[in-house]
Chains A and B, each alone.
Chain A
Amino acid sequence: MQTLIQAVGLVKRYGSRTVVDGLDLSIRQGEVLAIIGPNGAGKSSTLDMVLGLKKPDAGRVSYWREDPARYIGVQLQSTPFFPGFTALENMRMFAAFYGLRPTDSELLEHLGRCELGEAARTDAARLSGGQQKRLAIAMTLMHRPQLIFLDEPTAALDPRARREVRGLIRSLADSGTSVVFTSHDMEEVHKLASRIALICGGRIKASGTAEELLATHGADSLEELYIRLTDNAL
């Protein structure tokens, strides 16, 4: 399995506080990698460094190709839409950021695949929480990325919207797109992830499939494992 991104020995400090402390992380082709860990564990800083948003104080990030930005899609925790723009116009703007000029019918078809066809001409800010998340994900898929980062994609969504977003992630994985997502929902992580990396204290505390982790640590559930490993570290 090809390694898409390899981070070695990442360190990030804010003043005297070390948030990421010599962290190693690899992201492989075709996998659904869940990054979990308590708030303040270093997940966001790690992702920011991997995505080139922050410079590591030490360590190295290698990408599988020269121009990774063209092949990576990113959905942040917030749903960043242009104020006053419809779903279709937001899609058009973000497509343009990747040098694409899709026609309206292509955009509508793309929105339809994310079950947003009827909402295409609605102000993005007026969409429901689930629709906004799906639109944010749809925007990251416009340029057919090989790898997609989703930061807490189901946070603050109702059960129906969660199910819709999970379905979208599953269909992405089925189509061969590598997915990296963060979540605090262990059931969701168990259902979606082919590999899990638990970050705690700025380091990878455990990594593997859910079954490997449960067997290694003798836990009955991911939630139990999470609490046990993060308790020890705190």
Chain B
Amino acid sequence: MHLALFIIFGLLCLGGALNLLLQQHPINSALSLIVVMSSLAVLYLLLGAEFLALAQIIVYSGAIMVLFVFVIMLLNAGLEEKTRGSRAAYLAGIPGMLALFGVLAGTFFTLRSSFGSARLGAYLATTHDLAQVLFRNLLLPFEVTSILILVAILGAVVLARKEH
């Protein structure tokens, strides 16, 4: 069951990511990113992070990506144009990506026995556990992050406002 779900949603993730890479139109890229994020939420659920899975759906798929889609619609972004910069990027990007993936995957694969394995239902982080750590041990970072959000809101309002 766990294996089947992992394969299905892992493949969805990979497919979505590749589609993001290959699509020419930003709205198609945005939609494939939504697929990636929602499938990741299912993987979180498999790893016993139920609150995080739903937070992923609400924050990433439901808020951040809606913002992206909104901006794409607002600016009426069309197909991507090929320009001089992109050939160099192709030459450097694809081998670089393969090398990066090779190094990371090779490392994880050689160390695979020390990572152990995940069983369905073996570990569940409840909302209560999360709150204990977040609001006791990590209270200061939490407050600092809230200030960051406030600054970001003000910054966004200032930036997006039309000059009169």
**Binding partners A and B:** no
Which residues of chain A have a CB within 8 Å of any CB of chain B? none
Which residues of chain B have a CB within 8 Å of any CB of chain A? none
